[in-house]
Amino acid sequence: MAKKKSAPVTELSKIIPAPTIPQPITETIEKNYMPYVMSVIVSRAIPEIDGLKPSHRKLLYTMYKMGLLTGNRTKSANIVGQTMKLNPHGDAAIYETMVRLTRGHAALLYPLVDSKGSFGKHYSSDMKYAASRYTEAKLDSFCQELFSGIDKDAVDFVDNYDNTMKEPVLLPTTFPNILITPNTGIAVGMASNICSFNLAEICDGTIALLKNPKTSTDKLLDIIKAPDFSNGGLIIYDREQMRRIYETGQGSFRIRARYTYDKANNCIEILQIPYYTSIEAILDSIAALVKDGKIKEIVDFRDEIDLNGFKLTLDLRRGTDPDKLMNRLFKLTSLEDNCKCNFNVLIDSVPRQLGVVDILKEWIIFRTECVRRELRFDLKKKQDRLHLVTGLGKILLDIDKAVRIIRHAESDDVVVPELMKGFGIDEVQAEYIANIKLRNLNKKYIINCIEEMEALKKAIAEYEEILGDELKLRAKIAAQLTEIKKKYAEPRRSQLIFASDIPEEEEETTVENYPVRLVLTKEGYFKKITFQSLRGNDEQKLKEGDSILQLFDAENKDNLLIFTDKAQVYRVPVDDFDTTKASAMGDFLNAKLGMDKDERPIFMHVQNTYPEGENMVFVFANGKGVRVPITAYEVKGNRRKLTGAFSKTAPIVGAFYEVEKHPLELMLLSDADRAIVIKSSLIPVMTTRSSGGVTLMSLGRKETCVTEALTDFAARYGDGKGYRKNKIPAMGVLLNEKNIDAMQLRMDDTL
């Protein structure tokens, strides 16, 4: 039997790899990263001047082409499938986009999609929408104002992703939809959060700007009072805050729930909540407050959402003041929330942050061009028709001659040239006349042609007059806005209240205040000692091998920030700790605060307020350091634990509190017996807590880490004169013999 030939073996060692060409990071960013960034900004996340993102526009235009503006509803799955011809990002993303635009979802003040079926609710994370095969939809009649003029060359069209059909670049909205439809988007390096406004107020404000482009912000504030949300709520109105938003496009305002008190059933009925929260978040926070005993006035609470709309009911104990209870809930839950505005809009594919005033001005520019293009389209149609009718008029002067020319023509091909020659008309006019039926050449037809000619001339004159006069063009836009307001305007849903009208509830002070001495040890033991107790004995008892990390005086009403080596910070009132004696061990913080296993405190500070210009300074074992503003640790409510207090990229070797007016002097010591002394003001302030900071001490080849950072180094190492540095990063200076001995003694003490 013949042996089979074995296949040739490829020797991998003989394969020569292709040479790699190094690519500079700047080139990588420019060629690879920047196109992605611009795609997200321009084609995904940021709305344009028509108030729509590309995903919204593709969906709505598909529904328009399907005849769903005037036709009956169709299955949502059908709409999703058709939209994929313009938007290839998957059916789930398209359907989620449509859900938010529907009347049933109730996210928009003026819904764009008329829906049938379950589309969930934007104020509930548990109420999910049904699958697309079960629901139906069509365009709401309100969308007539989005597509008005789209078939009259009002906007540009471009090819879709596979060049098989055309889609509009923008929709020619007849009103400033950018301020009517709320939009939130997160791009790369920027975000957009545009809240909705009342249609009637926006129309009036735009008309005022059309009439007088120099209309002041104060005047617009009188017309467009504030944002307006689909689920109402009470906006706590601050005119200066609103002015900032209207002028810059950035700022925030507070909005709270609206409620009524049912005296007969002794319950509070919450009927409207802030737009950016959910009923589940509110119920969870109320449940936590009741469980912790911080709210004792509530007997029961439940979600009573039904076909009539939103309702959250709180059953109260007898004798409870409902207004006082709600004021506490406003402070402790998201029943009162901050609405942040960040009006980033694409103008000619360029992202710009604009205030309300500038957005309206940009929309007027956009809309003026749309109307101008529509008028040119209609003018061209009228001119073409007049051209035909004018030629017909010449024929009607001698119909017999025209009939004679046609009758004596040898073939169809010579009819048009003979008519052109006989009456002095062009080919288009002659072609039109040749196709007129003989029975139409009667007296009435002739009279109608003459009348049509006059009407066409009048219409053309009007179009040319409007196109040549900017004021008349603006007046036409204003007339359209007036008609839209008359047709679709609704009363404000979000009512305005003033901060001065809200009674300030004085919190009952139950905490006794007195001076105390606080002690924190390296092993994590904490003592709160009264001064009366210290009179007898101030010698601190410590666990064997333990030492005092911090010791300072405070008051019982103070609040503490306690930082740990696991990059966490705990907010604890001093009153939470029982007083003890100096001779006691104290509270073990790991157990007292419920810390993670092996977590230990490294720094504590009294923090009752969070002023600007005060920072936390962190130094890490890799020689880096960072300053974080103390405002970064301010949180709303009674949140006790904050994760990500500082960077975890390297172990922490020092934490300090600094007031910028009085910078600290820090000594950094390395494991190679080197040191530097720098001022904390040299360290940059980073706004994010997780920043890894900048290099403070350059470590040599034999150095592996910074072992400690100190502010009270004078007793051990002298005044630090030889180690001071004025720039960072700085190389460490070798400790002198005396200082090395001091460092050795310190290390022996900690072992």
Q: Catalytic positions, please?
A: 134
Measure the N-to-C terminal CA separation of the chain; round to a whole number of Å: 81
Specify the amino acid at residue 218.
D
Q: At what angle do helices 356-396 and 239-248 cross, to 10 degrees?
A: 50
Locus of tokens 């959910």? 278
Hey, what are 211's tokens?
A: 């009439």
Burial of 460 by CB count in 10 Å (0-12 exposed, 13-18 middle, 19+ buried)?
middle
Hey, what are 635's tokens?
A: 């949180």
Beta strand segments in 50-156, E: 74-75, 113-116, 136-139
| Pairs from 22-26 (Cβ < 8 Å, separation ≥ 24) | none
Among 267, 265, 302, residue whose Cα is nearest residue 286: 302
Whether the CB-CB separation of 538 and 583 falls below 8 Å is answered with no
DSSP string, 656-686: EEEETTB--EEEEEETTSEEEEEEGGGSPB-
Burial of 238 by CB count in 10 Å (0-12 exposed, 13-18 middle, 19+ buried)?
middle
Question: In 10 A of CB 453, how many CB atoms?
Answer: 16
Distance CA 100, CA 635 (A): 31
Burial of 618 by CB count in 10 Å (0-12 exposed, 13-18 middle, 19+ buried)?
buried
DSSP string, 676-727: EEEEGGGSPB-SSTT---EE-EE--TT---EEEEES--HHHHTT-GGGB-SS
Question: In 10 A of CB 75, how many CB atoms?
Answer: 15
Among 472, 479, 210, residue whose Cα is nearest residue 365: 210
**Which residues are paired to 77 by β-bridges?**
none
> How many contiguous H segments (helices) and E segments (strands) does the chain have?
21, 35
Question: Please, what's the b/e burial string for 296-315 (b: 16 or more CB within 10 A of its CB; e: otherwise)?
Answer: ebbeebebeeeeeebbbbbb
Could you tell me the strand order of the sheet in which 665-670 lies? Answer: 706-710, 665-670, 674-679, 733-734
Distance CA 350, CA 345 (A): 8
Cis amide bond preceding 729, omega within 30? yes
Regarding beta strands 665-670 and 706-710, do their DSSP bridges make them parallel or antiparallel, or are they unpaired? antiparallel
Locus of tokens 């966490």? 568
Question: In 10 A of CB 258, how many CB atoms?
Answer: 19
Distance CA 54, CA 86 (A): 10
Among 48, 52, 109, residue whose Cα is nearest residue 344: 48
**Which residues are paired to 709 by β-bridges?**
668
Q: What are phi and psi of 146, to 5 degrees?
A: -80, -35
Among 522, 578, 526, residue whose Cα is nearest residue 552: 526
Query: Three-class SS of residue 556?
Result: coil
- Residues in the chain, overall count: 751
For the chain, how big is the Rg over CA atoms in Å? 38
Hey, what are 713's tokens?
A: 């180094």
